[in-house]
Amino acid sequence: MRIECIAIGTELLTTRRLDTNSVWLGERLARLGLGFYRKTAVGDTREDLAELFREALGRSELILATGGLGPTFDDFTKELFAEILGAELVEDAPSRADMVAFYAARNRIPPQVNFKQALIPVGAEPLRNPVGTAPGVWWEDPPGYPGVRIVLLPGVPREMKRMWEEQVEPRLRPLAGNARHTLRMVVAGVPESSLDERTREVRERHGHLDWTILASLTQVELLVRSDDTALLETVLADMKPVLGADLANIGDGNLEDAVLDQLQARGQTLAVAESMTGGLLSARLTAIPGASRSFLGGATVYSPAAKAALLGLPAAFLAEHGTVSEATTIALAEAARTVLGATWGLAVTGNAGPGAEGDAPVGTVFLAVAGPEGRVSIGRLIPGDRSDVQLRSAAAALDFLRRQIDRS
Amino acid sequence: MRIECIAIGTELLTTRRLDTNSVWLGERLARLGLGFYRKTAVGDTREDLAELFREALGRSELILATGGLGPTFDDFTKELFAEILGAELVEDAPSRADMVAFYAARNRIPPQVNFKQALIPVGAEPLRNPVGTAPGVWWEDPPGYPGVRIVLLPGVPREMKRMWEEQVEPRLRPLAGNARHTLRMVVAGVPESSLDERTREVRERHGHLDWTILASLTQVELLVRSDDTALLETVLADMKPVLGADLANIGDGNLEDAVLDQLQARGQTLAVAESMTGGLLSARLTAIPGASRSFLGGATVYSPAAKAALLGLPAAFLAEHGTVSEATTIALAEAARTVLGATWGLAVTGNAGPGAEGDAPVGTVFLAVAGPEGRVSIGRLIPGDRSDVQLRSAAAALDFLRRQIDRS
């Protein structure tokens, strides 16, 4: 099935506003074994939108559009589709009632301009909006385009997601064909090319399945889809010995989820000391809801003074070993663990650039873990610019910790 | 000029991979007074790409494509454009030499498959890649499409950005019309709609200039372009009294650059204590090269234990005032300042969700600054999901500090 996504809003073309809606929709489709063949972002300009809608009607079987369902003058997604398809817009009484109730719950009356949101093209079904005022649209076989489905969703992520989960996904499930289940394996500490090679034999053994390898800066994902969950279990069993300790997570989570899950399962806690990653490692963990159950916190020891003041590293020790060194990193991990009373202490020092720091070239990173059974450490050289080195070092630190916990 | 962006890569359609390249390019175009009228993401499938390239050639004057310039079997952006346009590919000797040198610097010889990257369509110019192996392409007036420009850039952000800055932007500047200088004003702590209203009079007074307001999650940018730098000085002089203390930065920098600049100009230092932002505030500062000159570090006090252990907050104090409160936040700011011996201490506590924490609803945030002349604090309610609340709180904290330093 040819599926395309249209994200509507001038702000998507000109600013730091990332189009996260289409990424979310792409993931949800992938779980159904479906996928976009194309995604377009376009501004709130009538002609540009009309041009794109006409193109999409001519080439796609399912059109998912987000945005442009609001009450203002630059919201006209429904109106334009109706115009192009020669369908009238009529008021949908339940949608109007929903809107009045939505405002009433807030002790308000809907502004007159809002009522246009309750208009639905003849032949289409409204999708109710339980968390906002703009209903969506499910339009099957629109005039002149038999076999085509148009789905119009609000641009507000919370409204879009809720509508998708409750009303769109159930309607799409019967169309999803056979590959309805996805096995997702997250692999850390291995470059994409070597993972490709290492997993080839197992992938070829299950070559009739749909395989994808997705590499990002900090991890590689291996996805395989099938209708047969037992078969996916077999694939996982075959893949486990091949991936060994490099298999960081299975399912929806990433590296940081894996670490938090490990800690929670063992009733253990973590404290960190980061210099060169400057807070990024902590931020990655605390982005996960519920992180506070295992993550106690840490010290961002960006200066020698901070290493002494927060974690008690003596100035003489730092003078002897330097701020970027394996010995200092081990001492920081041990100090974080002790000071915060955590099961595990994790520390990172290094030089993210742009210039060399002492005799540590850009990309130098030291990682250390202090745990119930002692300390382990490693030194690495990580390629990339400042931001890459910081991101990769934070991921490498999480992965290093994950492996130590696994072994303990 | 009709400009469209094509981002190539199956991973952009199916995963959490956000297409940050096109966002970055959109911003850079905006600074030139140009903008995308459409952005498309498409997979590495020959037919889908060919279809899109043909469409783009028929409708756009400038086509910016990223990705598909690598050495593997699923990289064929150049090959497809050449095929569609009936142009031969020939090896570009300097590009081949660059590649050999790139590998030689790493004590390696390029794999044979890599040499296809040095092929350039006849009639196009290669764009050199100083930080990778895939050269880009600048193709003006391709066969059959006079007046069209095709620009092919690598998908790796670092390579794409460097190539854009050094080779593409200089070529585009003459096309950007007369408005070659941009005055960029970064405004913090003000919603877009109110900024729009507040600045209207000044914008109308200089109504013949090209104005843009760009809102992101954490700041609003006001851009104005002109060929006449003296006129831009006048605009700035007119705007300053209107924006007052809300004007956070002028030029390329953002809020965090402004804070680091303030500190450096005064020879002052900063220490932070963050709970609910979990490292994000520190990470935003340490993302800037040279942050270590003024940023000493801080404590990520994600647990009550950390507040006590790292910053010496007595358990009795926390029990009395709670972990999310104005009193605790003030105490944390003061402790960060004292423990690290910094000029300024900045603290954030709050609840980013998903659930309520004690009697603090989701979105509650307290900010406190301790400085040479005392302490100030504020409580706010910030809308959005967990990630939004964390990002906005980190920005609000930086902005709160900026205003206190300004007044001191």
Give the CATH number, domain containing residue B394: 3.90.950.20
- Which of B42, B52, B387 shows the shortest C-beta gap to A287? B387
Which range of residues forms the domain containing residue B398? Answer: 255-407
Residues A16 and A138 in one domain: yes
Minimal CA–CA distance to B274: which of B303, B309, B312, B313?
B303
**B317 in the same domain as B271:** yes
Asked whether residue A17 carries a pLDDT value surpassing 70, the answer given is: no
Q: How far is A299 from chain B (nearest CA, A)?
A: 4
Nearest chain A residue to B131, by CA: A384
Residues of chain B in contact with residue A289, where contact means CB-CB under 8 angstroms, are 353-354, 386
User: H/E element holding B41?
Assistant: strand B36-42
Q: Which amino acid is at B308?
A: A
Q: Using DSSP, state whether B76 is helix, strand or coil.
A: coil
Residue A374: what are its φ and ψ, rounded to 5°?
Answer: 130, -160
Cβ contact A311:A273 at 8 Å:
yes
Q: What is the pLDDT of residues B93-140, one digit of tens each?
A: 999 999 999 888 888 888 888 898 999 999 999 999 988 889 999 999
> DSSP letters of A146-182?
TT-EEEEE-SSHHHHHHHIIIIIHHHHGGGS-S--EE
Cα-atom radius of gyration of chain A, to the nearest Å?
26
For residue A76, give every residue at least 6 positions away whose Cβ sits within 8 Å of its Cβ, in sequence order, or none: A46, A49, A68
Last residue of a domain, one of B128, B160, B176: B176
CB atoms A39 and B40 under 8 Å: yes
Span B284-342, pLDDT tens digits: 999 999 999 999 999 999 998 899 999 999 999 999 999 999 999 999 999 999 999 99
Interface test with A, best of B45, B184, B302, B346 (most A CBs within 10 A): B302
- pLDDT score for A18: 66
The CATH number given to whatever domain includes residue A245 is: 3.30.70.240
**Amino acid at residue number B229:** T
Asked whether residue A15 carries a pLDDT value surpassing 90, the answer given is no
Residue in the block written with tokens 């990682």: A367
* Contact across the interface for B303 and A295, Cβ inside 8 Å: yes
| Cβ atoms of B277 and B349 closer than 8 Å | no
- How crowded is the C-beta side of B349, counted as CA atoms within 13 Å? 23
Do A216 and A259 reside in the same domain of the chain? Answer: no
Q: Are A273 and A357 in the same domain?
A: yes
In this structure, are B169 and B204 located in the same domain?
no
Residues A259 and A316 occupy one common structural domain: yes
The predicted pLDDT at position B407 comes to 93
A14 to B37: CB separation less than 8 angstroms, yes or no: no
Residues of B within 8 A of A385 (CB-CB) are: 158
Contact B302 A296 (CB under 8 A): yes
Same domain, A187 and A322: no
pLDDT in tens, B133-157: 899 999 999 999 999 999 999 998 8
Q: Same domain for A245 and A261?
A: no
Distance CA A309, CA A299 (A): 10
Contacts of B289 in chain A (CB under 8 A): 353-354, 386
Q: Output A39 or A33, whichever has higher pLDDT.
A: A39
Q: Measured between CB atoms, which of A19, A221, A286 is closest to B15?
A: A221
CA distance B158 to B68: 15
B43/A37 CB distance under 8 A? yes
| Structural domain count of chain A | 3
Interstrand relation of B220-226 and A364-371 (parallel, antiparallel or unpaired): unpaired
Phi and psi at A30, nearest 5°, equal -60, -35
Which of B13, B218, B390 to mutate against chain A (most A CBs within 10 Å)?
A: B13
Which chain A residue has the Cα nearest residue B49?
A38
Q: Is the pLDDT of residue A207 over 80?
A: yes
- Same domain? For B60 and B195 the reply is no
Binned at pLDDT 50, 70 and 90, residue A59 comes out as: very high
What is the predicted pLDDT for the residue at A247? 98
**Which residues of A fall within a CB distance of 8 Å from B165?**
none
Mean pLDDT, residues B17-40 taken together: 85
Q: Is the pLDDT of residue B212 over 90?
A: no
Report phi then psi at A10, rounded to 5: -55, -30
Residues listed for chain A:
408
Band (B15; pLDDT cuts 50, 70, 90): low
Q: At what angle do helices A77-85 and A46-59 cross, to 10 degrees?
A: 60
According to the model, what pLDDT value does residue A275 have? 95
- A vs B, Cβ pairs < 8 A, gives 250
Taking the C-alpha atoms of residue B108 and residue B97, their distance in angstroms, rounded to an integer, is: 14
Of A16, A157, A280, the CB nearest to B279: A280
**Cβ–Cβ under 8 Å, residues B399 and B366:** no
Report the predicted TM-score, pTM, of the whole model to 2 decimal places: 0.79
Q: For residue A348, what are its two tokens? A: 């990172």
Minimum distance, in Å, between the CA of residue A144 and any CA atom of chain B: 23
Residues 6+ positions from A191 with CB-CB distance below 8 Å = A215, A220
Mean pLDDT of chain B: 92
Residues of chain A with pLDDT > 70: what percent? 98
Is ipTM strictly over 0.90?
A: no
Asked if residue B215 has pLDDT above 90, the reply is no
Q: Which chain B residues are within 8 Å of A281, Cβ to Cβ?
A: 279
Give pLDDT tens digits for A210-259. Answer: 787 777 778 888 888 888 899 999 999 999 999 999 999 999 899 999 99
pLDDT-derived band at B18 (thresholds 50, 70, 90) equals low
Residue B16 has pLDDT above 60, yes or no: no
CATH (domain of A59): 3.40.980.10
Residue carrying the six token digits 């996260």: A20
Residues of A within 8 A of B302 (CB-CB) are 282, 286, 291-292, 295-298
List the Cα angle B126/B129/B134 in 5-degree steps.
75
| CB neighbours of residue B57 within 10 Å | 17
Q: How far is B181 from chain A, CA to nearest CA, in Å?
A: 18
Both structure tokens of B156: 């790796």
Range B54-80 average pLDDT: 92
What's residue A359's pLDDT?
81
Of the pLDDT bands very low, low, confident and very high (cuts 50, 70, 90), residue A150 is very high
Determine whether the interchain pair B287/A390 forms a contact, defined as Cβ–Cβ distance below 8 Å.
yes
Name chain A contacts of B303, Cβ cutoff 8 Å. 292, 295-297, 340
- Distance (Å, whole) CA B81 – CA B139: 10
Chain A residues with CB-CB distance to B19 below 8 A: 18-19
End residue of a domain, out of B216, B231, B250 = B250
How many CB atoms neighbour CB B403 within 10 A? 16
Is there a single domain that holds both residue A189 and residue A313? Answer: no
Q: From CA B177, how far away is CA B175, in angstroms rounded?
A: 5
Share of residues in chain A with pLDDT > 90 (%): 69
Q: Which residue has the tokens 């706010």?
A: B380
| Nearest CA-CA distance, residue B38 and chain A, Å | 5
Give the model's confidence band at A266: pLDDT under 50 very low, under 70 low, under 90 confident, else very high. very high
Instruction: Return mean pLDDT, chain A.
Output: 91
B222 or B193, which is more confident?
A: B222
In angstroms, the separation between the Cα of residue B88 and the nearest Cα of chain A is: 28
The torsion defined by the Cα of A152, A153, A154 and A158, in degrees rounded to 10, comes to: 180
Answer yes or no: do B344 and B240 share one domain: no
Q: Which residues of A70-85 are buried (b: 16+ CB within 10 A; e: fewer)?
A: bbeeebbbbbbbbebb
Residue A355 has pLDDT above 80, yes or no: yes
Looking at the structure, do residues B234 and B274 belong to the same domain, yes or no?
no
The length of chain B is 408
Among A118, A153, A175, where does a domain finish?
A175
The mean pLDDT value for A298-326 works out to 93
Residues of B in Cβ contact (< 8 Å) with A272: 300
- The gap between the terminal CA atoms of chain B, to the nearest Å, is 48
Mean pLDDT of A120-127: 97
Task: Report the alpha-carbon distance of residue B186 to residue A221 in Å, rounded.
Answer: 38
Q: Do B38 and A16 touch (CB under 8 A)?
A: no
Q: Quote the CA–CA distance of B118 and B140 in Å, as a whole number.
A: 19
